[in-house]
Structure 1
Amino acid sequence: MNILSLEFLDKIISILKTQNKKLTAHEITILFTTDDFYFLYKKDFQINNYLPILIKDGLVKENEELSEIEGFPNSEIKYYSLTINGLEFTGYVNKYYAELSTEQQNKEILENQLSLNKSIMLTNASVRSTNTWMLYLTLVIAFGTFVSAIYYLIEILKFYNLFCACSEK
């Protein structure tokens, strides 16, 4: 399992600890993707890949309850909450690094930092591309505004007979 997956697992545990209530998979996903850092990785995150791992490890429990929403037939909804082990768990990333030697830890941290820098640079490149298009669009709009301003200035001058009086003779 790669370090990003371990980060995802830790984030799910963190969300459940912070909320301190049972949540649906959809609610967890929404809270996950609203985090600024994890927003970058929302396309890589699939909650159904990580909840079974947390349940198998005994950190999260799954409960099914009947929904009683007016106008809808009763259906079972799965809720997730932390177990006692989940509340005391220090994190997959911490556990992973504790099992590595110092040299391996440094290598892993460097690789992860390079991967993060690469994803940030890709994001910045797309922002630059968008900014370039916005600049061109702004220039076109500014040119159109300038041309229309000149046209209406000429029309106003014609209306008050201050422009091209020689053409009326």
Structure 2
Amino acid sequence: MNILFLEFLDKIISILKIQNKKLTAHEITVLFITDDFYFLYKKDFQINNYLPILVKDGYVKETTELSKIEGFPDSKIKYYSLTVKGLEFTGYVDNHYNELSTEQQNKEILENQSSLNKSIMLTNASVRSTNTRMFYLTFVIAFGTVVSAIYYLIEILKFYNLLCACSEK
């Protein structure tokens, strides 16, 4: 399994531990993508890929409740909370690395670091491209401002007859 996949599973368990209450899938997603580190991976994160695994493994319990709001039809809402097994769970990443030999651990860590570096490089390239475009746009605006300032300065000087209008004689 991909280490990022395991990290996502651990983060969901972590969110449920911190909140210490039942949450909907949407609430978990919002808390997930507001985390500074995981914000980078929000496009890769699909809650429906991870919750069934956590429920199947027995770390998360899924309950369905009937929502009764006056003026609206009753609807079923799924809530997720940690089980006792989930509260004691050390994490998928830790278990994954404990099952590997030291050489396999080092190889996998190196691969994961490499993919993280590639991701960061792509993000930095995108930022550089945007910065370059902003630089040229700012330059064009500044140039236009200077040209218009010179034009209006000449017009003001003509108005007060401080500029020689030799062609009018």
TM-score range, shorter chain: over 0.9
- The answer to whether structure 1 residue 69 and structure 2 residue 64 are counterparts is no
Deviation, structure 1 residue 85: 0.7
Cα distance in structure 2, aligned partners of 1:163 and 1:63: 84
Deviations 1:11-60 (A, max 9, x none): 00011111111111111111111112111111111100000000000000
Aligned residue number for residue 85 of structure 1: 85
Aligned residue number for residue 135 of structure 2: 135
SS in 2 for 1:36: coil
SS in 2 for 1:62: strand
Cα distance in structure 2, aligned partners of 1:65 and 1:145: 62
Once structures 1 and 2 are overlaid, which stretch shifts more, 156-165 or 57-66?
156-165
- Could you tell me which runs of 5 or more consecutive residues in structure 1 were left unpaired when the two chains were aligned: none
Percent identity among equivalent residues?
A: 86
Aligned residue number for residue 31 of structure 2: 31
Once structures 1 and 2 are overlaid, which stretch shifts more, 154-163 or 42-51?
154-163
Aligned 1:115-154 pairs, distance under 5 A: 115-154=115-154
Cα distance in structure 2, aligned partners of 1:81 and 1:3: 23
SS in 2 for 1:97: helix
Cα distance in structure 1, aligned partners of 2:70 and 2:167: 78
Aligned residue number for residue 155 of structure 2: 155
Q: How many residues align?
A: 169
Cα distance in structure 1, aligned partners of 2:168 and 2:157: 14
SS in 1 for 2:41: coil
Deviation, structure 1 residue 72: 2.4
Q: Scaled by the length of structure 2, what TM-score is found?
A: 0.96
Deviation, structure 1 residue 155: 1.3
C-alpha root-mean-square deviation of aligned residues, in Å? 1.1
Deviation, structure 1 residue 70: 4.0
